[in-house]
Structure 1
């Protein structure tokens, strides 16, 4: 039985399926950990008194009783958590900031030692960061855990996307595989807030992070058991291993640069909304239950998956027209972002968020396979560096988006 299982596992088509499963789980975990803190951490930091507090707009109300007792109450004001938006912005952005600095090294390493070992390294680091999130009880510890996740993501995400591009060499097959991986990314991003808010309300902060850390550990063992960390790099006619194109040269390719810029703009909308929408809802929709704050993202999962499916089908029918789909997605995002601050209820808010996620699906699903195609046709078919560039693009959006958004909200308000 064991021999039969080993033979089945080593079959090429089974190897492809296993690679897709392992990479999809890794991307799911990374994005769940990224987004699970959205409904948890803002409230948790207030509960542990991580901010300085000011009482704004209060006035004294005096009540006198017949027995001579005088009671003075402070009424009519609100509590102001000093620099809350800015500190939340830095906390959210720390992961992506670390990824920006680590990705050039991870891409270089992946191009030279293969995809499997960096995947294992990334998953081990992500497991550690998730466990620290579960146990951390101060802003500094949570900031460190968030930053450590960025280090792990730089290896796990880049090696995962590069592994798919390497194993699925045919263009339509690669587009479908990357589309499935993107569906897991979206599922992680959009299911994590309700997952986190419900478990946080019912069982406390550690539980959602402990669950994610255990799944992360299991995925790491799957890589060890199923895909041995051996080097399987292409060789040239002389038998020497093919060296990938340096990242700086890929950056100089204007087609790759345009794709990178579009990926940044595609994700800047979510990067602006993540650290700010929770506090905005607390002020504009104060009657919204805590568990529902996370649930606003869940309905957007279905338009995102629909966008992935539609894009893959359109790319198969109209090859070389990916740029049109990306342009449509960017236009949809812009219109939807404009509508968000004018919503007055949770139901109204879900509609523009869903449209934003549909637009992101159009952009990501059309451009990620294009990066692999550009490397195949204009450079060398080694994918670590080009998907490190894609990861840098995401990281730039999620690094500077929360910081800029936090500053704008604290000075000019959410509408700006």
Structure 2
């Protein structure tokens, strides 16, 4: 009896704990972003292998990436036969004896010639195959980019629905719905064997992500009312997101290479099931009505300061979103990188993002979140410009690490800033503003992959990244406007003052008449 009472008391304390809510939100973001990035090293090669079942991409990776200059020993048939018609069969193509004699600078006088031909300047089947593979990989960037973008596009469409819905029924039911949808999406990824099925799985994940992200951030903003504490909590939650991004690519690449395509997704579905049970036990999903009148979505969308903060999140994430579908393919094409290397290349970005979000959660509040975002956008621009200059995977470490750290600066500064802006300029109800924040995040991950394939085909990988870097440089100075945004009272005073001025001018004009 006592034991039962003690357990129920402990369970009740757990359900009231802010820290446990933070853990649940962080785990949900971790798993969502693990699924988001696990597919990065898997999908490009998997789709290539579907199209070329007899000539899989893995046969060509980590092999030689230059034209062969090895001399080829070629045996000619007897010279008694007609030289002008006799053909030499060699890996580089078919040549008559006369052509070979011209290339060698000799004349055949014996019945049989065994000689060596240097084929340095001849077009070999290997070179032709490499050129063909290069074209196919570049073309594949478009469907891969569209698939990666589908999740963000669907999430973009779902956010304006989920945000206001949380005002009516609370955060716990949408959060649990997000788990269910993510679990189904993971299973479809595990067993999908065609582009269309995988596309549906990716799009479905967008609905689940919308529910988890908007509800999770709103829940944290509601539980952590103090601005400094909220910044710290959101930094930790975004750390969970970063950890998912960190683990996803190498996890997916290694499991795909050594176990199989289904393995990483089956493991993720088991972890998601555990998170769902934790939510069911601790959050007890139920309808909760909000007493405060929430700000309308229109009022938030037309607030210039909220749009500025949201825009910073979009531009900060657009660069890495463009890299997700294009960088693995660019590495396969220019470096012949294997699966695990394609996944590992995102490790420095993920590790530094984890550091950046946890560091600038509290530090952004101290130094000014506007300044952290401004510096972050400038650093992102420089790092994006360095990536195309890399000639080996080692050269990608520093720019990717800088990119991840700077994105962490922007995200961990602007997410709590959105909650702060709602507090001082609107009503402290957070579902809609974090729907806008998530829309901003999704805009980057929708526009980036969707455009990357087209841009790589038209202007090239290098100029695509230079372009987004220039946009980050242009947007960065606007962060200064968030230095001291006017509060609700100041806004009201300004409006009343403007109305008084209008009345005074009208009265003065009447008086003159």
User: Counterpart in 2 of 1:238?
Assistant: none
1:137 aligns with one of 193, 204, 210: 193
1:165 aligns with one of 194, 204, 221: 221
Partner Cα separation in structure 2 for residue 310 and residue 27 of structure 1:
18
Say whether the 8 Å CA contact 1:9–1:15 is kept in structure 2.
Answer: no
Q: Secondary structure at the match of 1:276?
A: helix
Computed over aligned residues only, the root mean square deviation of the Cα atoms, in angstroms, reads 2.2
2:346 aligns with one of 297, 300, 303: 297
Say whether the 8 Å CA contact 2:30–2:244 is kept in structure 1.
Answer: yes
1:369 aligns with one of 416, 422, 431: 416
Q: Secondary structure at the match of 1:347?
A: helix
1:272 aligns with one of 322, 341, 361: 322
Question: Structure 1 length normalisation: TM-score?
Answer: 0.91
Is residue 445 of structure 2 the alignment partner of residue 398 of structure 1? yes
Say whether the 8 Å CA contact 1:256–1:371 is kept in structure 2.
Answer: yes
User: Counterpart in 2 of 1:9?
Assistant: 11
Say whether the 8 Å CA contact 1:89–1:405 is kept in structure 2.
Answer: yes
User: Counterpart in 1 of 2:305?
Assistant: 255
Say whether the 8 Å CA contact 1:62–1:71 is kept in structure 2.
Answer: no
Partner Cα separation in structure 1 for residue 269 and residue 88 of structure 2:
56
Say whether the 8 Å CA contact 1:191–1:297 is kept in structure 2.
Answer: no
Partner Cα separation in structure 1 for residue 186 and residue 156 of structure 2:
20
Say whether the 8 Å CA contact 2:215–2:431 is kept in structure 1.
Answer: yes
Say whether the 8 Å CA contact 2:160–2:435 is kept in structure 1.
Answer: yes
User: Counterpart in 1 of 2:77?
Assistant: 66
Which stretches in structure 2 are left out of the alignment for 5+ residues?
A: 56-66, 79-85, 92-124, 464-513
Alignment deviations for residues 262-295 of structure 1 (CA, whole Å, 9 cap, x no partner): 1100101111111100011112212x33212211
Partner Cα separation in structure 2 for residue 262 and residue 391 of structure 1:
12
1:359 aligns with one of 391, 396, 406: 406
Alignment deviations for residues 217-273 of structure 1 (CA, whole Å, 9 cap, x no partner): 221111111111234445xxxxxx223112121011111010111110010111111
Say whether the 8 Å CA contact 2:332–2:338 is kept in structure 1.
Answer: no
Report matched runs for 1:9-408 at 5 Å.
9-11=11-13, 15-49=17-51, 66=77, 71=89, 73=91, 74-77=125-128, 78=130, 79=133, 80-81=135-136, 83-234=139-290, 241-286=291-336, 288-318=337-367, 321-408=368-455
More relative contact order in 1 or in 2 (CA 8 Å, sep 6+)? Answer: 1
> Offset of 1:413 from its aligned partner?
1.6
Aligned length: 400
Partner Cα separation in structure 2 for residue 63 and residue 45 of structure 1:
38
Question: Structure 2 length normalisation: TM-score?
Answer: 0.74
Point out the more displaced range, 295-304 or 195-204: 295-304
